[in-house]
Structure 1
Amino acid sequence: MNKIKLKNQEYKFKIIRSSRKTIGIIVNADQELLVRSPKRTSIRQIKSLLTQKEDWIIKKLAKMSEIKAPPKSKDFISGETFLYLGKEFKLKLAAEVDLNDIKVILEQDRMVVYYPAELEENKQKRKTAVRAQLISWYRSQAKIKINELINIHKNNLAVEPNRIVIKKQKKRWGSCSSKKNLNFNWKIIMAPIFVIEYLVVHELVHLIHPNHSKKFWQTVAEIIPDYEAKKEWLRINGRRLTI
């Protein structure tokens, strides 16, 4: 790992060399400083560029420090905390002798998962089954809430999406295709409802303005005047929305 002093403070940085022709500087959500560089670029050249960009780098590092870390890996056992609509629920596992399928039910501040008693014989199998059912439940809840919000706001915007798909997306919370299909990451259902509403409006407005132009954001603001606060919440807390 290489080191450089910026503003009287030492920072580590990693160099990733490839056949590219220019140097790219990246500060990721884990506050890592990465340099993508051509194969023959010297360390001296790289450090010179980093020094030139030190104001941007330090500002970016400070911005990334606000981002909350993802939760620890779950074991899917009673007592663990799961998010739903921005609220924390304690997981409660309950074995039922006469049950054939796994069920998820919210009971006050608990997320209760009822499962067939036979799964007690294999803890790993139970963990896999409970996780799969929780994801299925989250997806179904996301579909319900997102469709409710779409039905409200599509009339306000006078738009009509073609298809609405709830799926797993690695890097996006939502997207709008050229065929007017709206895609949403199922994990957004863990966020507060006001964040989900912002995301829905964001994608619906893309049916009018396909890019993030000034007109796009003006239209979003007409529906959600404080959209920037919702957008910022998602930037800071987005990595927490996972199981």
Structure 2
Amino acid sequence: MPTFQIGRKEFTYDLRRSAAASERRITITPGHIEVLALQEDGDSEIADFLTRKRQWLFDTVQEMERVTASRHAVPRFATGSKIPYRGRRMPLTVRRTDADRAAVSYRNGFVVDLPHWVEGDPDRIVASELKHWLKQRARLDVNDVVGAYRRRFRLEPRSVRVADLRQGWGSCGAEGNILVNWHLVFAPKKVLEYVVVHELAHLRHRSHAAEFWAFVQTMLPDFTTPKDWLDNHQTELSADFLNPCGAD
């Protein structure tokens, strides 16, 4: 592995080249440094880039080592934490980058890249970025389900919104406006689908009479399985864990 010297301290890093990258990037996680270089970069370009970033790199590694050493347990929003998502608890990785903005990505787990200006313990920012990502994911999931069933069953809601509902998992107003609780992103995807189907069915049958449930079963034949799951686990679907120290 290549190394880089800053004063008396030598840093080992992984070098990754990318033809798709438009700029060089350094990503730091506990015990690991990755340098993303442009495909055409030679050794001198990479060395110059590291030289320009040497103070930030040194300070960030030192701060990460200090925070890691002072913790006796894994906090809620650090590498190694677990984040509920679609009925599972998925691993979280928090990285430091030299970017200007925070970013969240997902691939078999959550990755939060924190920008260079974040200092100290970043729980509040990580929680905020995760909450924003999860809300956006819930909106996409809901819209996907609505789109599929709207076409198949000729159901036309006036509007569909994802919201933070204090009570219930969804609603369908008299004028055809559908609301879905974004906390369903923590449940298996089939559960979110059931709730959306339930509310879409109210466009045709306002009450919960027998014909309503017959129509739900026509739309989603195995609806009782996700319905039972929601009945048994609804108290677990809370976003309270995303509010450290009163964060919004």
Range of TM-score over shorter length: 0.5 to 0.7
**Map of 1:114 onto structure 2:** 113
**Map of 2:125 onto structure 1:** 129
Deviations 1:93-143 (A, max 9, x none): 11112x2222111132x211111132233x2xx222211111110111111
**Map of 1:5 onto structure 2:** none
Shift of the alpha carbon at 1:170?
1.8
**Map of 1:224 onto structure 2:** 220
**Map of 2:101 onto structure 1:** 101
Deviations 1:21-59 (A, max 9, x none): xxxxxxxxxxxxxxxxxxxxxxxxxxxxxxxxxxxxxxx
- Asked if 1 retains the 8 angstrom alpha-carbon contact of 2:95 and 2:113, the reply is yes
**C-alpha distance in 1 between matches for 2:179 and 2:164:** 9
**Map of 2:230 onto structure 1:** 234
Partner secondary structure for residue 118 of structure 1: coil
Partner secondary structure for residue 118 of structure 2: helix
Runs (4+) of structure 1 exceeding 6 A deviation are none
**C-alpha distance in 2 between matches for 1:140 and 1:160:** 22
**C-alpha distance in 1 between matches for 2:167 and 2:132:** 20
Amino acid corresponding to residue 161 of structure 2 in structure 1: V
Amino acid corresponding to residue 211 of structure 1 in structure 2: S
**C-alpha distance in 2 between matches for 1:102 and 1:173:** 30
**Map of 2:78 onto structure 1:** 77
1:1-243 alignment to 2 at 5 Å?
A: 75-97=76-98, 99-108=99-108, 110-121=109-120, 123=121, 126-243=122-239
Shift of the alpha carbon at 1:78?
2.0
**C-alpha distance in 1 between matches for 2:202 and 2:118:** 46
Identity %: 28
- Asked if 1 retains the 8 angstrom alpha-carbon contact of 2:83 and 2:89, the reply is yes
Shift of the alpha carbon at 1:183?
0.6
Deviations 1:53-100 (A, max 9, x none): xxxxxxxxxxxxxxxxxxxxx732222211222232111111112x22
Amino acid corresponding to residue 182 of structure 2 in structure 1: W
**C-alpha distance in 1 between matches for 2:224 and 2:131:** 29
Amino acid corresponding to residue 104 of structure 2 in structure 1: V
**C-alpha distance in 2 between matches for 1:211 and 1:78:** 47
Amino acid corresponding to residue 114 of structure 1 in structure 2: D
**C-alpha distance in 1 between matches for 2:178 and 2:186:** 19
- Asked if 2 retains the 8 angstrom alpha-carbon contact of 1:157 and 1:205, the reply is no
Amino acid corresponding to residue 182 of structure 1 in structure 2: I
Amino acid corresponding to residue 113 of structure 1 in structure 2: V
> What TM-score does the superposition give when structure 1 sets the normalisation length?
0.64
- Asked if 1 retains the 8 angstrom alpha-carbon contact of 2:100 and 2:117, the reply is no
Partner secondary structure for residue 135 of structure 2: helix
- Asked if 2 retains the 8 angstrom alpha-carbon contact of 1:142 and 1:188, the reply is yes
Amino acid corresponding to residue 96 of structure 2 in structure 1: A
Partner secondary structure for residue 148 of structure 2: helix
Structure 2 residues without counterparts, runs of 5 or longer: 1-74, 240-248
**C-alpha distance in 1 between matches for 2:142 and 2:100:** 30
> What TM-score does the superposition give when structure 2 sets the normalisation length?
0.63
Partner secondary structure for residue 145 of structure 1: helix
* Number of residue pairs the alignment of both structures matches: 165
Shift of the alpha carbon at 1:215?
0.9
